[in-house]
Copies of this chain bind each other. A is one copy, B any other.
Amino acid sequence: LHKTFRKSARKVGLPPGTLLHIGNVRSNATTITVLDYDEHSCREIAVRTVEELLSFKSSSTITWIQVSGIHQIDVMEKIGQVFGLHPLTMEDILNTTHRPKLEDHGEYVHIILKMLYYQADDANPEIEQISLIIGSNYVISFLESEKDHFHQLREWIQQGKGRIRKLASDYLAYAIMDIIVDRYFIILEKLGETVEFLEDKLLLDATPDILPEIHALKTEMLFLRKLVWPIREMIGALERGQTALFQESTLIYLRDIYDHTIQVIDTLETYRDIMSGMLDIYLSSINNRLSEVMKVLTIISTIFIPLTFIAGVYGMNFKNMPELEWEWGYPLVLALMLTIGAFMLRYFKRKKWL
């Protein structure tokens, strides 16, 4: 998850406004699909040249232009020109390491979000940056890959499910954002399973190799938090009504996304607190076990060392050791040893070491 963070250094030494794709190339070519609809009709159009998009810019219908693959600088540049996007906006769209943000350019609103999803065979979530350009009657969604994350939304629109066909482009943007934020709950659920798994493991049978797992989980939670946090501010700004493109009636839906992000953050914080509590328990359990080990050593040593000493004494070869000649010398010494041992055991029992 966190390898994508350090790539912006490539841009150093280029004049501002230079278009440069930062990130991994995840698609073959830039493909553009258009969904044009109003309350009564809906058609999907395959677009070959960027110029075809021009007509949608000022049509009376709502147009959803999905651009999959952003590494073809020339195509991207043309799209920017057709829709009159600011050079810095284009830069941000191409920089896939950008943090989530919202910027109002008057004519259009630019939103950057991160889509998280699991590949079929992968334990770590994939991260893909999605840029939305929201104009008065169109929404452009820039995706890094050719994955069709929004096919369900497209179907709902085509089938006229929900109220989306009756509403404007801001509601379409909301619907896209809602899908992205909803995906976070799947990540969250998997994190929650990992937390519970680790919790059980820690309380039952903690081995040292649990620490890197906890470390990895904490790092992942850290990154997820960094992705979700800016969305709060983003929607907070929208709610304060600073953006004319978003209508009153849409704001209540944004408030719903806002609630979701708060729930994500809340849950992450709860997980983090549980994890750090678990870590404390683990650390003190190590100490405890060390203490246990030492007790065993101490008890065994403390009992036998004096006895061994006594045995050593009567193993000495002095000529003149009267005890050695005694008839009952040996049994007496054995009895002495037993007494000392018993006394020691009682002492440890009293100290509650046994």
Enumerate A278-337 residues with CB–CB distance to B below 8 Å. Answer: 278-291, 293-298, 300-302, 304-309, 311-321, 323-330, 333-334, 337
Judge if A241 is at the interface, Cβ distance under 8 Å. no
Q: What chain B residues lie within 8 Å of A334 (beta carbons)?
A: 313
Distance A318 CA – B311 CA, assembled complex (angstroms): 10
Q: Which of A26-34, A52-60, A218-226 makes up part of the contact surface? A: A218-226
Q: Which residue of B lies closest to A288 (CB)?
A: B208
Judge if A274 is at the interface, Cβ distance under 8 Å. yes
Contact B318 A314 (CB under 8 A): yes
Contact A319 B325 (CB under 8 A): yes
**Majority DSSP secondary structure for residues of A touching B:** helix
Q: Which residue of B lies closest to A312 (CB)?
A: B311
Contact A284 B284 (CB under 8 A): no
Assembly stoichiometry (copies): 5
Distance A126 CA – B93 CA, assembled complex (angstroms): 33
Judge if A211 is at the interface, Cβ distance under 8 Å. yes
Q: What chain B residues lie within 8 Å of A289 (beta carbons)?
A: 291
Distance A267 CA – B174 CA, assembled complex (angstroms): 29
Interface residues of A (CB under 8 A from B): 2, 5-6, 8-9, 11-13, 15-18, 86, 88, 91-92, 97-99, 101, 103, 105, 152-153, 156, 161-164, 174-175, 178, 182-183, 185-186, 188-189, 192, 203, 208, 211-212, 215, 218-219, 222-223, 226, 252-253, 255-256, 259-260, 262-263, 266-267, 270, 273-274, 277-291, 293-298, 300-302, 304-309, 311-321, 323-330, 333-334, 337, 353
Pull 29 A–B residue pairs with CB atoms less than 8 Å apart, ordered by A: A2-B274, A6-B188, A6-B192, A12-B186, A88-B256, A92-B259, A99-B262, A203-B212, A222-B270, A226-B266, A284-B286, A286-B287, A287-B290, A291-B293, A297-B301, A297-B302, A300-B306, A304-B306, A307-B309, A307-B312, A308-B309, A311-B312, A314-B317, A314-B318, A316-B317, A317-B321, A318-B323, A318-B333, A320-B330
The 3 closest A-B pairs by CB, nearest first: A311-B312, A314-B316, A297-B298
